[in-house]
Amino acid sequence: MNSFITIWAKGRGNLATWLLWGLASAFVAYTFATGGYLIAVLQFAFIYTVLVTGLNIFMGFTGQVSFGHNAFAAIGGYSSAVLTTTYGWEPLPACLLGLAGALACALVVGYPVLRLRGHYLAMATLAIGLIVYEVAVQWQSVTQGYMGISGIPSIGVGSFTIGSDRALLVFLMIVAALALLSAAGIRRSRLGRAFVAAAGSEDAARALGIDVAHYKLIAFMISAAYAAIAGSLFVHAVGFVSPEVFGLPMVVMSFTMLYVGGIGTIAGPALGAIIISVLPESFRAFKDYQDLAYGAALIVILIYAPRGLASLPELWARWRRRSA
């Protein structure tokens, strides 16, 4: 709760903050009322919020690079899919087992890999994503390869399942909000300060007695946990999973959301996820030029708000001071 109050207090009195949140909630309300295709788009955005929030903890707070978080989403997603369809598990324990699997994988992989820095770390994490993709394709007896697994049940506990699209939207929105609040809590905690210290200067942090390698590994595992949960949510929401779902496009998508929304900020992942999910849809009128318009919009955002949409309130405050 504390962290929520801080987010609110920081933005209080800033018109741009109100505008941003106002627009977002108006859009969610509009979608909720009208229903249809946009509901699916928003569900997708909220699931990605969870994934990108995790990525933000590793990349934004801790200053590392990972091109491989799709691997953890895949582990979470496939665990949910296989356990609920083939073995008839409940969604919740299936999701938890996927989470445990992703954590174990992050621990085993992270321990050696996190000794690398910068580009080397990026390459090593990229490899993790590719390996998990390949496993999903080849391990046909379990994953059914390219065919994928369909008929994955909706999220629910016992006889209570979230059947309607609107109910699912509300549920995912709550999960996304929890993801943001937990990230805010982490950022404000002792642990979070160690993460940010490691991002600032590894040597300076070490010289203060902070075991940087240890904290990088913890950040990696926490972010893997978010990714695994996002993966589980995804397969339950869509009802289908195939290796393509967790391919490289997922990595590109989550990076775009992180940077457009504002890396290192709390609200950035949500703003980025919503904008990047909705933007291509809003350019449908451009028909053949849809991708062009989408690309141009991204460039404009990154030129005028280089630290992402979440930095707009700050830019607005600076503009106000200058013109005052």
Q: Which listed range, 114-122, 196-204, 267-275, 284-292, lies at the site for other proteins (CB under 8 A)?
A: 196-204
94 residue type, one letter? A
Q: Which of 12, 119, 190, 322 binds other proteins (CB under 8 A)?
A: 190
Q: Angle 290-304/268-282 helices, nearest 10 degrees?
A: 150
Which lies closer to other proteins via its Cβ, residue 24 or residue 191? 191
Q: Which listed range, 146-154, 203-211, 251-259, 292-300, lies at the site for other proteins (CB under 8 A)?
A: 203-211
Angle formed at CA 173 by CA 170 and CA 175, multiple of 5 degrees: 115
* Shortest spacing between CB 187 and other proteins, in angstroms: 10
Whats the size of the chain, residue-wise? Answer: 324
Conformational region of residue 139, where left means phi above 0, alpha means psi within -120 to 50, and beta covers everything else: beta
Q: Which of 147, 204, 252, 292 binds other proteins (CB under 8 A)?
A: 204
Q: Which of 193, 238, 290, 294 binds other proteins (CB under 8 A)?
A: 193
Query: Where does residue 313 rank: exposed (0-12), middle (13-18), buried (19+ CB within 10 A)?
Result: buried
Q: Which of 1, 203, 304, 323 binds other proteins (CB under 8 A)?
A: 203
Q: Which of 97, 152, 194, 227 binds other proteins (CB under 8 A)?
A: 194
Q: Which of 209, 321, 322, 324 binds other proteins (CB under 8 A)?
A: 209
Q: 45 near 72, Cβ under 8 Å?
A: no
Strand partners, 157: 160
Q: Which of 200, 249, 295, 306 binds other proteins (CB under 8 A)?
A: 200
Q: 228 near 104, Cβ under 8 Å?
A: no
For 52, the enclosing helix (H) or strand (E) is helix 37-56
Q: Tell me the C-alpha distance between 318 and 128, whole Å.
A: 42
Name residues contacting other proteins, limited to 36-95 (CB under 8 A): none
Q: 54 near 182, Cβ under 8 Å?
A: no
**Per the structure block, which two tokens stand in for 111?**
């321990």
Kindly state whether residue 307 participates in binding other proteins, applying the rule CB under 8 A.
Answer: no
Q: Which listed range, 2-10, 100-108, 110-118, 189-197, lies at the site for other proteins (CB under 8 A)?
A: 189-197
Q: Tell me the C-alpha distance between 81 and 144, whole Å.
A: 11
Which lies closer to other proteins via its Cβ, residue 207 or residue 324? 207
Which lies closer to other proteins via its Cβ, residue 120 or residue 146? 120
Greatest distance between any 2 Cα atoms in the chain: 67
Which lies closer to other proteins via its Cβ, residue 207 or residue 303? 207
Site string for other proteins, 251-290 (x = CB under 8 A): -------------x--------------------------
Kindly state whether residue 208 participates in binding other proteins, applying the rule CB under 8 A.
Answer: yes
Residues that bind other proteins (CB under 8 A): 190, 193-194, 196-197, 199-201, 203-211, 264
